[in-house]
Chain A
Amino acid sequence: MIGKTFIKETKELFREGRVRISLFIVLALLGVAVWISTRQYEAVNDQYAAAKTTERSVWDGQGEKNPHSAAHYGTYAFKPKYPLSLVDQGVDKYAGTSIFLEAHNRNDAQFSAAADQTGLARFGDLTPDFILLFIIPLLIILLGYNSLTKEREMGTLALLKSQGISFWKMILGKWTALFLPILVITVTLFLIAGVVLSRIEDFGVFNWDALLAMCLIYIMYYAVFTNLVLIVSALTRKSGVSLVIALSMWIAACLAAPKMATNVANNQHPYPTAQEFAASILEDKENGLDGHNPWSEESKKLEQDVLAKYGVDSLHQLPFNFDGYRMQKGEEHAAEVYFKHYKLLKDQYERQSEVYQGLAVLSPYLPTRFMSMAVAHTDYGTHWDFSDAAEKYRIATQKFLNEHFAENSGYGEWGWQADADFWQQLPAFEYEPTSLKSTIREQKANLSILGIWLLLSFSGLLLTVKRF
């Protein structure tokens, strides 16, 4: 029975013009989206590589200079683009791509692509994730809205009943017929993405496991939509009404719910503005040691402590340059202040994430979106991770420079300069994103929410069909 229903439904689907046309449109869109994203990905990667080497050679070629001048001169950390961003661009467009690493200050990532585009960009981009998250669920609705209503409308329901069929077998047949084309499209898309990605040179962290994980997430998402569409089709009498209801669900889940979620998240756990954030950091910084200011109370105290520790009575007698030492202590204080404030910001971000997870009860789109971005390393979490890594590197760099200054010069020797080849000794900034395993562990909540959606929608479908 399952097999027969499946064959009949599939035949019917492919006979219909709307299916052929919509399949064709979706495939064409996907083709365009993949092509555009691949080009963009390659261009960005080239720029990234160029910027990174140029910046490093600028740093290495500073010539003779005081290490603290070099610290102010600073360097940049550039955020790389990861292979799976080809499939899901995530928040990449809205997050900055470069962080300026300098003495005393932690800077935010600058230059997001969205700030350099017109308001039109806010409608969304024609990227594979747009097709995967929005258009394919729509395709499911289009293919399946009348799957059960047509049996009522054509009067074949009575015939079916008279034959004593088992409804769940029929449903399973219909379910498979609806789901199989979607499955084929999805798997093909991911295969193409995999082939494209493994052909691009320097694909670094790309692995097939992550691609497979992403593919599975989307398959779960589509299974949920298939169930929902069939439930609606079973509960309504007319195809038109079924379509309108299924569509409203799509709009609520994919368009309205995410927007509502941002408003709720921001109303409950607002972010400070850039100005407020900077002001509160400045306040804390001023209450501590300023490495540039030898006259402040904190500096005097540090002086006394150090003199006592080394048993000498003048800063000139210390075995190192006290200026460099104080500079480093000031840096450590500033780093603590930044750590505290960014921690507060991060807490706020985590609370917002909880709001999104809470609202995922309303929409299977939300957990899917978050998981997909996380696996692709284009989510906000990765951005945080990158910016934390850059900060760690900044602190290490300051230490490296201040210690060199302290060890090689005498007190008061502000004119002292390090050798021209000293700069090359600074290790380069390297950033490794989290592994797939730990990403999935972090996404446990979203994964279970999507799992619950899958279970509930399946049981909902079986329950409705019983009363069909």
Chain B
Amino acid sequence: MLRPNFKYELKQLLRSNWLWLLCIILISLFSFATYNGLKKVEAREALIASAKAKTQENDTKMLKTLDSLEQGLEVHLKPWDLPSDPIVVGSDHPRVAAMPAADFTFLATGQSDLFAHYKKPKVYGGGIIEDFTEMTSPVQLLFGSFDLAFVIVFLLPLLIIAFSYNVLSAERESGTLRLLAAQPIGIRTWVLQKLLIRFFWLSVLVLVSLIGVLLVFKADPFTNISGLLGLLGLVLVYMLFWFALAFLVNLWVGSSAKNAVAMLGLWIGFVLLVPSMLNQLGTTIYPMPSRTLMINELRARQADATERQDEILDNYLRDHPEYAVNDTTETRNFWHGYMASQNLLRDEIKPVTDRYNAQLKKQQRWVNRFKWLSPAVTIQESLNKLAGTATSDYENYREQVLAFSEEWRAHFMPFLYNNQKFAKADYPDLPRFEYQKQDQSQMASIPMLLLISLVLFGLGFLASRNMKSGGILNQA
């Protein structure tokens, strides 16, 4: 029975205009989304490249100046701008700490519109708390971006619903169900076959148009085969999940319109309600401490540190006797006191800022624990990870930048406290930032979703056993 069924479905699909309409819709959605994603990636790469070029240019100038200074030549710079002062190098010649795009960043905007992709940690200047947010119109953040993840998570299920809501009910409504009942095949098996065939054809359509669009837009999907396989796997299990739901709904619910309403209800539940409720619960159970009250706390500490600057410097030097030994002149200027008090302030506020990171991590753990409640959340999270735009990616980047910023400041401290000049020979030793990606393989959610879909199919089989074919035939 599988073979005629397969043939019939194929013929019907090819003859119906729906298929062609679907093809056009899919290709245009994929194209628009891919175009947007690639454009964003392009802008990001260009920005990082230009920042790096600018740094390179400034460095060349700085080295020239240092060279002239070391040869005793005159330079046309104000005395407080001379790069022989380590604080000038540390503040005016920062390194670019960039987070380059990953192979599949165009897939999902994720948190990438919220955060900046490069920072320049400095010894002096810039707030005491590094601000990582990007200057984006909040309207844009509110509406979100039309990316491939949106097409896959939000729109693809709707195409599946339109494709599968009336498999059984259409036969009943056109009166051919009774003819079918005369065939040697169980109704459940028949519905299952029909849905699997549709799943097969829709999968072929989606995969071919997706890869086709990626190739046309030169997104080079084949440079990262495991990533591509991950993407295709995610799309397939997600589609399978919706077909499994369609199977249940076809067996349990009645007329075409009722099926459509039920499927739609499920879509709203999984795609809109469950995620927003999860988020709401997560933020209620692990609430973020108030940022406005945090400012109050920081200000109090800041005032205190400024007042005690001299005392702090004394303590600092007591803790770092090596500086007292290496420097015989022991001259102290503004920077010595300032840096010591800033270091102390940083140490003091670390527990305050750590609270936010800890709470965010707790929220993320909460999401990870319950993301299985909605495959839409699972897929969105996996796509974000694959794209390197997930919350955890930006957290990872933040941590690396903060560590680098620490390293950068620490690098200049011996210069400052030893009253040692920055020389040309010290240039190659400047710390450099290299972003370390975190693991992006998202294979774990694929078998999990597969399992969920299979359980749903099984459930359909088991539960509809007691409503015998007579029941299905006579349903309203």
Q: How many angstroms between the C-alpha atoms of A447 and B135 in the bound complex?
A: 29
Q: Does A287 contact B (CB under 8 A)?
A: no
A35-57, CB < 8 A from B: 36, 47-48, 50-51, 54-55
Q: Does B291 contact A (CB under 8 A)?
A: yes
Given contacts A126-B276, A380-B139, contact A260 B32 (CB under 8 A): yes
Give the chain B neighbours of A383 by CB distance below 8 A. Answer: 138
Q: How many angstroms between the C-alpha atoms of A59 and B290 in the bound complex?
A: 20
Q: Does A275 contact B (CB under 8 A)?
A: yes
Q: How far is the CB of B474 from chain A (nearest CB, A)?
A: 19
Q: How many angstroms between the C-alpha atoms of A204 and B268 in the bound complex?
A: 37
Q: Does B386 contact A (CB under 8 A)?
A: no
Q: How many angstroms between the C-alpha atoms of A121 and B275 in the bound complex?
A: 8
Q: Does B334 contact A (CB under 8 A)?
A: no
Contact A380 B138, beta carbon cutoff 8 Å? yes
Q: Which of A110, A114, A243 has the most CB of B within 10 A?
A: A243
Give the chain A neighbours of B142 by CB distance below 8 A. Answer: 90-91, 93-94
Given contacts A47-B293, A115-B133, A120-B377, contact A262 B145 (CB under 8 A): yes
Give the chain A neighbours of B278 by CB distance below 8 A. Answer: 120
Q: How far is the CB of B406 from chain A (nearest CB, A)?
A: 21
Given contacts A47-B292, A98-B292, A118-B363, contact A125 B139 (CB under 8 A): no
Stretch at the interface among A164-172, A250-258, A455-463: A250-258
Q: Does A58 contact B (CB under 8 A)?
A: yes
Q: Does B16 contact A (CB under 8 A)?
A: no
Q: Which residue of B lies closest to A142 (CB)?
A: B261
Q: Which of B114, B131, B359 contacts A110 (CB 8 A)?
A: B131
Q: Does B195 contact A (CB under 8 A)?
A: no
Q: How many angstroms between the C-alpha atoms of A262 and B390 in the bound complex?
A: 20
Given contacts A18-B261, A261-B143, contact A55 B118 (CB under 8 A): no
Given contacts A18-B261, A119-B381, A274-B135, contact A114 B141 (CB under 8 A): yes
Q: Does B39 contact A (CB under 8 A)?
A: yes
Q: C-beta contact mask, A105-130 vs B, less than 8 Å → 1, else 0?
A: 00010111111111111111110001
Contact A117 B279, beta carbon cutoff 8 Å? yes
Q: How many angstroms between the C-alpha atoms of A380 and B135 in the bound complex?
A: 13
Q: Does A240 contact B (CB under 8 A)?
A: yes
Give the chain B neighbours of A55 by CB distance below 8 A. Answer: 295-296, 299
Contact B257 A145, beta carbon cutoff 8 Å? yes
B345-380, CB < 8 A from A: 356, 359-360, 363-364, 367, 377, 380
Q: How far is the CB of A197 from chain B (nearest CB, A)?
A: 21
Q: Does A265 contact B (CB under 8 A)?
A: yes
Q: How many angstroms between the C-alpha atoms of A51 and B300 in the bound complex?
A: 12
Q: C-beta contact mask, B279-290 vs A, less than 8 Å → 1, else 0?
A: 110111000101
Q: Which residue of A lies closest to B365 (CB)?
A: A118
Q: C-beta contact mask, B250-263 vs A, less than 8 Å → 1, else 0?
A: 00000111111100
Q: What is the interface size of chain A, counting residues whose CB is below 8 A from a CB of the partner? A: 81
Q: C-beta contact mask, A250-289 vs B, less than 8 Å → 1, else 0?
A: 0100011011111101110011111111000000000000
Q: How far is the CB of A38 from chain B (nearest CB, A)?
A: 13
Q: How many angstroms between the C-alpha atoms of A259 and B37 in the bound complex?
A: 13
Main secondary structure of the interface of B (DSSP, over half): helix
Q: Does B134 contact A (CB under 8 A)?
A: yes
Q: How far is the CB of A365 from chain B (nearest CB, A)?
A: 10
Q: Does A203 contact B (CB under 8 A)?
A: no
Q: How many angstroms between the C-alpha atoms of A275 and B279 in the bound complex?
A: 31
B152-167, CB < 8 A from A: 154-155, 158, 161-162, 165-166
Contact B280 A126, beta carbon cutoff 8 Å? yes
Given contacts A98-B291, A98-B292, A125-B280, contact A251 B140 (CB under 8 A): no
Q: Does A398 contact B (CB under 8 A)?
A: no
Q: Does A76 contact B (CB under 8 A)?
A: yes
Q: How many angstroms between the C-alpha atoms of A108 and B284 in the bound complex?
A: 28
Give the chain A neighbours of B360 by CB distance below 8 A. Answer: 116-118
Q: Does A247 contact B (CB under 8 A)?
A: yes
Main secondary structure of the interface of A (DSSP, over half): helix
Q: Which of B47, B114, B259 contacts A273 (CB 8 A)?
A: B47
Q: How far is the CB of B201 from chain A (nearest CB, A)?
A: 19
Q: Does B333 contact A (CB under 8 A)?
A: no
Q: How far is the CB of B83 from chain A (nearest CB, A)?
A: 17
Q: Which residue of B lies closest to A96 (CB)?
A: B133
Q: Which residue of B lies closest to A242 (CB)?
A: B257
Q: How far is the CB of B188 from chain A (nearest CB, A)?
A: 22
Give the chain A neighbours of B127 by CB distance below 8 A. Answer: 100
Q: How far is the CB of B468 from chain A (nearest CB, A)?
A: 24
Contact A273 B140, beta carbon cutoff 8 Å? no
B32-68, CB < 8 A from A: 32, 36, 39, 43, 47, 51
Contact B260 A94, beta carbon cutoff 8 Å? no
Q: Does A352 contact B (CB under 8 A)?
A: yes
Contact A259 B295, beta carbon cutoff 8 Å? no
Q: Does A73 contact B (CB under 8 A)?
A: yes
Q: Does B273 contact A (CB under 8 A)?
A: yes
Given contacts A36-B280, A73-B303, A240-B260, contact A119 B154 (CB under 8 A): no
Q: Does A239 contact B (CB under 8 A)?
A: yes
Contact B135 A277, beta carbon cutoff 8 Å? yes
Q: How many angstroms between the C-alpha atoms of A138 and B158 in the bound complex?
A: 14
Contact A247 B291, beta carbon cutoff 8 Å? no
Contact B364 A240, beta carbon cutoff 8 Å? no
Give the chain A neighbours of B115 by CB distance below 8 A. Answer: 115
Given contacts A123-B276, A260-B32, contact A271 B137 (CB under 8 A): yes
Give the chain B neighbours of A134 by CB distance below 8 A. Answer: 272
Contact B150 A259, beta carbon cutoff 8 Å? yes
Q: Which of B140, B260, B302 contacts A243 (CB 8 A)?
A: B260
Q: How far is the CB of A145 from chain B (nearest CB, A)?
A: 7
Q: How many angstroms between the C-alpha atoms of A466 and B394 in the bound complex?
A: 58
Give the chain A neighbours of B216 by CB distance below 8 A. Answer: none
Q: How many angstroms between the C-alpha atoms of A121 and B381 in the bound complex?
A: 12
Give the chain B neighbours of A263 by CB distance below 8 A. Answer: 32, 36, 145-146
Contact B296 A51, beta carbon cutoff 8 Å? yes
Contact B292 A251, beta carbon cutoff 8 Å? no
Give the chain B neighbours of A152 by CB distance below 8 A. Answer: none
Q: How many angstroms between the C-alpha atoms of A262 and B377 in the bound complex?
A: 23
Q: Does B277 contact A (CB under 8 A)?
A: yes
Given contacts A119-B381, A263-B36, contact A124 B150 (CB under 8 A): no
Contact A130 B292, beta carbon cutoff 8 Å? no
Contact A116 B260, beta carbon cutoff 8 Å? no
Give the chain B neighbours of A380 by CB distance below 8 A. Answer: 137-139
Q: Does A95 contact B (CB under 8 A)?
A: yes
Q: Does A222 contact B (CB under 8 A)?
A: no
Contact A271 B139, beta carbon cutoff 8 Å? no
Q: How many angstroms between the C-alpha atoms of A115 and B113 in the bound complex?
A: 10
Given pairs A135-B268, A352-B140, 14 additional interface contacts (CB within 8 A):
A18-B258, A117-B279, A120-B367, A120-B381, A122-B111, A123-B276, A123-B380, A125-B280, A251-B155, A258-B144, A272-B135, A276-B47, A295-B78, A349-B137
Instruction: State the 10 A-B residue pairs at the shortest beta-carbon distance, nearest first.
Output: A123-B275, A94-B138, A91-B138, A240-B256, A51-B292, A111-B291, A258-B143, A259-B146, A94-B141, A239-B257
- Could you write out 29 A-B pairs with CB less than 8 Å apart? A50-B296, A51-B292, A51-B293, A93-B142, A97-B292, A98-B291, A110-B291, A111-B292, A115-B115, A116-B360, A118-B360, A123-B275, A124-B272, A125-B276, A125-B279, A126-B273, A126-B277, A130-B276, A142-B264, A243-B264, A247-B264, A256-B155, A261-B143, A262-B139, A265-B137, A273-B116, A274-B116, A274-B134, A352-B140
